[in-house]
A and B are shown apart, each in its own frame.
Chain A
Amino acid sequence: MSVAADPALAADGRRERRFFLSLSLPALFIVGLAAILPLLWIVRQSFLTTAGQYSVGNYEKVLSSGLTWSALATTLELSLGTLVVCIILGIPLALALASTRPRVANVLMAFVMLPLWTSILVRTYGWLVLLRRDGLINAALTGSGLTAEPLPLVYNFTGTLIGMVHYMLPLFLLPVYAAMRDIDTNLTRAAASMGATLGQVIRTVILPLSAGGIFSGSILVFIYTIGFFITPAVLGGGKVNPLSIRIERTLSTFQDWGSASVLGILLLVLMALIAVMFLTARRLMAHNKMGAAHA
């Protein structure tokens, strides 16, 4: 008699499955209470007028405001800017780390990861100290005569971007470094022995083989930066207003819960769109790779 056909055993299996499901319930309950319910509440609130009636008035108000669209543009500029700088700084660093002995690389990686372990506020404060008008960098620049006037490095877009890149770079570096570590060194040796220059090896062997890691790192950068709040709030000095800052201002300065909720939903939609875009790109990339393999 097969196991599945024995009703007693099947009932036992079902009971055990129910028991295992129940082990997840406490965690699911609290996530439902403190994460899912709040998100649904934002949806509800977005349709509520200040008088407590349901309408699409909040949407009309928010979507017809120029501030909303400039906030959306700022959000995308910050995310894209962060990604571009992370790629420029991160790929050479990953390449250098991946080409040293693992022991040395591990120690250096620990240094690189140090910012990840310190509070975002600690780091933001460090950047304020460095970037202010009378800060360390401006003192060095004017002191050495490189610039006559102190440069406006903080309380603007530049400062915000620097802070965001500093936050994201270690996270971007992790998957890129891992991908480069995994490359079989025989491949680069083979390319070299066939006469490829260093530039050619990087372009035709190393970068294509670490594309997956670069891709994952890019997704991370987008998912994280799209909702960044602390960095623009402190280093933007009120002049950089992505969606997250508009949400906070709409909520605490104008007490307009409905409009803040609409902005929140806009942020969610933006995230979903970007996720879909990345997933489609990944599928296309995988498809092309298969096509190339068949050809």
Chain B
Amino acid sequence: MLEAYPDNRLARVALWGFAALVMAFLILPTLVVVPLSFSASDLLEFPPRAYSLRWYENFFGSATWMDALRTSLILGTLTAAIAVPLALLACISTNRLGGRAAATIQGVLLTPSIVPGILLAIGLFFVLAAQGLVGTLFGVLVGHVVLAIPVACIVLVPALARFDWNQVQAARSLGADWARAIGGIIVPQLRISLLSATLMAFLTSLDESVISIFVASGRNSTLPKLMFLSLRDQIDPTIATISTLWTAIVVAVILIVTLRQKS
């Protein structure tokens, strides 16, 4: 866009220097924890004077952290398993209905992603408290499902807009009922989009902290809730370990997805 100004070296250098600083600002906090996770010390010294795997042992050896990890993985899996089919049906519905009905349905389904998390969290807490369900897996699960539905829809709406509906009409005219048309045609054709919707729904749940903080408790505490509590109380280097593992997994997933798209 600025190629009309090849001579303006100074402005170019200034712009890129500034851009590099801003990018460093964005990436630094994620990277700085990696060496700390391998530190041998109780203190957060940087760079660490000696290296060890003691914080990894601490994490994988702690029943509390492992319980939280298990809870988070179960929640993420259940969230994806429930939110993606519901989102798929809803997106098929809005795609076929069109007009005001579709806009209204989409508006309602988007509400959880617009309303501040803290409001959903305390509202859900009140409702669950009235039913005696605070601290149950169910309470956190429904909260995560409503947050994951809009995320899944973001992937599925454009995929369904590209979908050739003549195939479904052909199948229907040949006697397939809707269940068969959806299971036999729509699902296989959208499998890539469904896969990324599943992944994003899973990540939404894994990353969600505010609802967990208010609604989960005891053995049902999620990993983010435990991380939050230990960040607020003292700075435990175990968090550096979790952060490193987390970043590594995310980078791996992104790399796999991009490489798959290229091939």
Contacts and interface: CB of A to CB of B under 8 A. Distances in A.
A189 B1 CA distance: 8
Interface in B209-263: 209-210, 214, 224, 227-228, 231-232, 235, 239-240, 242-243, 246-247, 250-251, 254, 258
Contacts of A42: 119, 122-123, 126
A233 B5 CA distance: 46
Interface string B1-15: 111110010010001
B19 interface: yes
B112 A35 contact: yes
Interface string A96-127: 11110000000010111011011111111111
A126 B29 contact: yes
Given A42-B123, A120-B209, A126-B29, A108 B108 contact: no
B32 A136 contact: yes
Interface in A229-259: 229-230, 233-234, 244, 247-248, 251, 257
Given A19-B178, A264-B122, A126 B33 contact: yes
A124 B227 CA distance: 10
A180 B209 CA distance: 34
Contact of A230 (B5, B120, B206, B209): B209
A111 B142 contact: no
Contact of B93 (A20, A112, A226): A20
A244 B115 contact: no
Given A122-B30, A193-B4, A31 B111 contact: yes
Interface residues of B, number: 83
Q: How large is the interface on A (under 10, 10 to 19, 20 to 34, 35 or more residues)?
A: 35 or more
B28 interface: yes
Interface stretch (B61-69, B84-92, B188-196): B84-92
A89 B4 CA distance: 24
Interface of A: 17, 19-24, 26-28, 30-39, 41-42, 45, 89-90, 92-93, 95-99, 108, 110-112, 114-115, 117-130, 132, 134-136, 139, 166, 169-170, 180, 183, 185, 188-189, 191-193, 198, 201, 206, 223, 226-230, 233-234, 244, 247-248, 251, 257, 260-261, 264, 267-268, 271
